[in-house]
Structure 1
Amino acid sequence: MQTKRLDMPLLITSITIVTAIVAGLTLFPEAGKAGANHIFGLFTKLFGTPVLLTVFGAVVFLVGLGFSKYGAIKLGDGTPEYSTFNWVAMMVCAGLGSATVYWAFCEWAYYFNAPPMGIAAHTDGAYEVATTYNLFHWGISAWATYCIAALPVAYHFHVRKNAGLSLSAVCTAILNKKETGPAWALTCRIIDIIFIFTCFGGLSITLGVSVPMVSEILCSILGMTPSFGFNLAVILGISAIFSLSSYVGISKGMQRISSMNTYFAIGFCLLIFLIGPTLFIVKSTTNAIGTMLQDFVKMSLWTDPIGESGFPEGWTIFYWLYWITYTPFVGLFITKISKGRTIRGVILNMLVSGSMGCWFFFGIIGNFSMKTQLTKAVDVAGMVASGKGNSAIVEIMNTLPASSLFIIMFALISVLFLATTLDSAAYTMAATVTPGLKTGEDPSPMHRLFWCVMLAAVPLAMMFINAPLNTIKTCAIVTAVPLTFIICYMVYGFISWLREDFADLTEKEIRARG
């Protein structure tokens, strides 16, 4: 069933804000870069420690919730709509995006050049800590931030049967406001504007990193020189894919693309694993997982108060805020695809399946990249330090036999990862601006198509001014901080609902009600 109701004031306000950002970045690029650097430093220092504590607290809370009787609560009636493989594939693809493939090749090199915890750069210790932090930043804590935001929305929609698939609808339900006055209506507007702005912030990083990477790869195949015009052509091609996917819907579009891309990504990694330095990949990944699990609490709460190297602010805190920018649309999307699953099942699959999927990808790709540095086949660390990370990826893959085949496959995976991320974002943004959605209802296909087009605007402006990484990172920082407070309130309401609905029941009785 399709619905075409639209919240026109919210839609117009959102378009106005996005247009102003794009115009400002395009007309005043240098001022935009300077302002972004200032905001990035200020926000990470002021909010860094609370963010570290919040994300670590989310991990502890979810583990406790999963093992408690409340884990048996079923989200909605009937059996799951999607097979477990398709469910996990859509979840992973929506939560990662094609920025993953860039960072899988290059992220370790950033840490190798400027390692944390007082370790000297370019040493054996720097190599080991680089791999460990790579898996740490793309593991349990990342998926915990997604899950902690997804559960209140899923409970609101599937268990409480409240109308509306938006953050403001959840907050309204928590307050039990049946008749909202002007003050609360304005508050809901602000919440939804923060949500939409957050989507643009997070996706600016994804597109800002991914599109130049895909352009570099395609240009290496075609013998061309990367340019803004080529970036524009790439993003238009990607937009066509995810716009078609969004238009035809989740079951026919998103499900098929994400499943196909999951198979491609697994095949790509397995080929590299078998052809590349297999033993080194196994040993290095195992060592990194062991070190990360052993030092998980220390890494989660390390603020570097004495050395003040800037590593926690520049990486761990940035990443946690980056994940927070993704939580609204990943949370809403997971709500849509998780009907019939239990709370325990959602927690288990997000924290375990999501983390293992990332560790599989980063363990193979990252250690293969690192091995080319160790053998001096490619100076990955040097190229990354000089801002040539995309060129480094091409050179790394050129070390493989039949390198052109790997490069083409890599480009395809990047495009499909990006398409599924943008597809899920467009769906949830359309849902936010379509008030009162109920179970079985979707936003209008044309409305989803509109948001697909809008999502390309801010990243294109970033690419046009050739924004450095810190400018792109700032989009996440600015939008994630206010969103953190909203998510904390949603979790508070979620806990209240659990106690109100199931506190007097045993786990056996909860299962019987499902």
Structure 2
Amino acid sequence: MRPHDEDAPLALVPTGRFLIFPQVSRPVFIISASVILALIAFAAVFTGPAEAVFAATQAWITDVFGWFYVLVVTLFLVFVVYLAFSRYGPVRLGDAFESPRFTLAGWFAMLFSAGMGIGLLFWSVAEPMYHYLQPPTGGAPDATEALRYTFYHWGLHAWSVYCVVGLAIGYFAYRQKLPITIRSAFYPLLGERIYGPIGHAIDSFAIFGTMFGVATSLGFGVLQINSGLDYLLGIGESAWLQVAIIAFVTLLATGSVLLGLSKGIQRLSQFNIALSVALLLFVLVAGPTLFLLRFLVEGIGDYVQHLPGLSLWNDAVAQSGWQDGWTIFYWGWWISWAPFVGMFIARVSRGRTIREFVAGALVAPTLAGFVWLTVLGGTGLEMQMVGGVDLAAAVEANVATAIFVMLDHLPFAAITATLTTALVVTYFVTSSDSGSLVIDMLAAGGHTDPPKIQRVFWAVTEGAVAAVLLVVGGLGALQAASIAAGLPFAVIMVFMCIALMKALRTEPITPDAEEREPEAPDETMGDVQHDEPEDELEAEPESEPEPDPDPEPEPEPEANGGSERGDDDGRVDDAAADAEPEARGARTDGATRD
């Protein structure tokens, strides 16, 4: 029997040295790095034409494919909810009866940390105010409507995008023992071709999306850091000052990479969560507490009531252009972020069932985001409506300053502004560090601990992309990059859903079979639950022969067509593949559908 390493897939994409990088998938690395560096060079040298290209690309995509973005993200939400309540809900992201790696409380905390970030800090006060001043459907300003659309952009739809990628990666990596890459989700459709040019192209598109999604977030962070420093020190705001901030914070992110996961990103993440919760509680207590509690309950009810209509609203009649700058941007941003967040939540959710995964990764972060947006955004709205504070003017003048203007009208303004600026910096560092890790995993064929020099390269590249986008077109260029990067990966995600369904149909599931954890889990059971008696499992732990009308007492290994894992190195046995071509539809590790 092949030695079982629970933290590694059975097969990896071939890797090797390229220049100074010791462990990369050469086709993926060369394609993705070359294209990204070429775009950086073009935008840096030809700033004017690059700005025009970004603007034209955004206008064309939102005009031609806006309806597609709205439809496909809603379908992702329907898909993950269906899986949770279907017969596939008990399927575990890992071996049958495998226990989760983290406690429920720890798991929720990590999901919450994934839901927090620069974006929620940047938009928490500004977005509700924008929707209050300029209602999407016209009419008089309405605070409840403003919160509804903010919830829409940060709620179930956003997390359904992450869930699709997380489910696919978790299932194929931890249950089917394939590489922890995006290409693995296509095994039911492509078979061993995922290790060829098509697989390289899929992972390259995932790198493009992640790179520009992370760069967009970093760009927002730099705008807010600059605003915070200007508020505290009066240093002013400019594109070149923002480039200097990017260089400095990217240097900090590089230091975090060199420290490693346990000393770098883990400690910073814990600091982020603690400081975020402290800021949230401070605003809740120092602000209009009763109003915020009522506003939260009312806002959730209003969101649920209007969710079906919001999900498919396309602004087809009025064509005001509002949706292009908001919903389409967000959907493109979430999709481009999906490989990053999806891989993270898949790794921390190993051992959970699909039903548990959807309940935790869809609902928990959504509710955490609702609380955050209500407390900070609701405080800003209350100041505007009854507090005599013209927060709207500050938002219209500079969206990045909104949170600082709001904090300025609460006690201890200088302290909270300083801590908020520090929080944005640490979120920048963790986003850059985590993003470089995910990109490097994709470029390194699914290796979970690639060499640090490669992560440093990707961290510096993320900073360079963010800097170029800010210099070229500021906030508009960041939005254009997300929308453009998200479109091809949205198509990839559609096929991920199809492939996942094809694989799940091969699962020999009995109701709740995998949700009943035995008192002493049998480590010899492999990846899929079998219906044979326990003594037979112990007698034949390595492979499970396909049911035969005339069963032999001891089937020959060559006749085993129910498994595609013929060799100890995880490769498909050629004779078995020729004998059973239909078995290549999905990797089932010895399980066949009845």
TM-score, shorter chain, exceeding 0.5: yes
Does the aligned pair in 2 maintain the 1:238–1:419 contact within 8 Å? yes
The aligned counterpart of 1:395 is 405
Instruction: Summarize deviations over 1:426-458 as a string: whole Å, max 9, x none.
Output: 111111111253xxx422233222211111111
- 490, 499, 524: which is aligned to 1:493? 499
**Counterparts of residues 427-446 of structure 1 (less than 5 Å):** 427-435=437-445, 437=447, 441-446=448-453
Q: State the shift of 1:248 in Å.
A: 4.1
Structure 2 CA distance for partners of 1:470 and 1:463, relative to 1, 3 Å = closer
The aligned counterpart of 2:132 is 112
Q: State the shift of 1:310 in Å.
A: 1.7
Q: 207-216 vs 267-276, which deviates more?
A: 207-216
Please say if 1:414 is aligned against 2:405.
Answer: no
Q: Distance in 2 between matches of 1:320 and 1:179?
A: 30
Q: Distance in 2 between matches of 1:495 and 1:330?
A: 21
Q: State the shift of 1:317 in Å.
A: 2.3
Please say if 1:61 is aligned against 2:79.
Answer: yes
Q: State the shift of 1:330 in Å.
A: 1.3
- 183, 188, 197: which is aligned to 1:168? 183
The aligned counterpart of 2:144 is 128
Does the aligned pair in 1 maintain the 2:219–2:478 contact within 8 Å? yes
The aligned counterpart of 2:587 is none
Does the aligned pair in 1 maintain the 2:169–2:184 contact within 8 Å? no
**Counterparts of residues 208-247 of structure 1 (less than 5 Å):** 208-247=219-258
Q: Distance in 2 between matches of 1:258 and 1:47?
A: 36
Find the residue that maps to 2:192 and give its secondary structure.
Answer: coil
The aligned counterpart of 1:45 is 63
Greater RCO structure (CA 8 Å; 6+ sep)? 1
Unmatched 5+ stretches in structure 2: 1-6, 9-14, 16-21, 518-527, 530-594
Residue identity in the other structure for 1:150? G
**Counterparts of residues 68-467 of structure 1 (less than 5 Å):** 68-77=86-95, 78-120=98-140, 123=141, 125=142, 127-162=143-178, 164-171=179-186, 173-175=187-189, 177-178=191-192, 185-375=196-386, 377-386=388-397, 388-435=398-445, 437=447, 441-465=448-472, 467=473
Please say if 1:5 is aligned against 2:11.
Answer: no
Instruction: Summarize deviations over 1:473-500 as a string: whole Å, max 9, x none.
Output: 1111111111111111111111111111
Q: Distance in 2 between matches of 1:194 and 1:43?
A: 17
Instruction: Summarize deviations over 1:68-112 as a string: whole Å, max 9, x none.
Output: 332222222443333434433333434542121010010112212
The aligned counterpart of 2:574 is none
Structure 2 CA distance for partners of 1:241 and 1:186, relative to 1, 3 Å = same
Does the aligned pair in 2 maintain the 1:90–1:255 contact within 8 Å? no
Q: State the shift of 1:137 in Å.
A: 0.9
Instruction: Summarize deviations over 1:237-279 as a string: whole Å, max 9, x none.
Output: 4324433443444444333322331121111111111011112
Find the residue that maps to 1:5 and give its secondary structure.
Answer: strand
Residue identity in the other structure for 2:144? E
Residue identity in the other structure for 1:493? A
Q: State the shift of 1:409 in Å.
A: 1.5
Instruction: Summarize deviations over 1:31-59 as a string: whole Å, max 9, x none.
Output: 22222222212211222222222222222
The aligned counterpart of 1:507 is 512
Find the residue that maps to 2:507 and give its secondary structure.
Answer: helix
Q: Distance in 2 between matches of 1:73 and 1:98?
A: 34
Q: Distance in 2 between matches of 1:245 and 1:302?
A: 43
TM-score under structure 1 length normalisation:
0.90
Find the residue that maps to 2:319 and give its secondary structure.
Answer: coil
Q: Distance in 2 between matches of 1:275 and 1:341?
A: 39
Does the aligned pair in 1 maintain the 2:102–2:348 contact within 8 Å? yes
CA RMSD of aligned residues (A): 2.4
Residue identity in the other structure for 1:506? P
TM-score under structure 2 length normalisation:
0.79
The structure carrying a bigger helix percent of its residues is 1
Find the residue that maps to 2:409 and give its secondary structure.
Answer: coil
Structure 2 CA distance for partners of 1:307 and 1:497, relative to 1, 3 Å = same
Does the aligned pair in 1 maintain the 2:67–2:314 contact within 8 Å? yes
Structure 2 CA distance for partners of 1:96 and 1:481, relative to 1, 3 Å = farther
Residue identity in the other structure for 2:504? L
Q: Distance in 2 between matches of 1:494 and 1:282?
A: 40
Does the aligned pair in 2 maintain the 1:139–1:358 contact within 8 Å? yes
Q: Distance in 2 between matches of 1:229 and 1:30?
A: 16
How many residues are matched? 499
Does the aligned pair in 2 maintain the 1:397–1:403 contact within 8 Å? yes
Q: 323-332 vs 338-347, which deviates more?
A: 338-347
Q: Distance in 2 between matches of 1:422 and 1:499?
A: 38
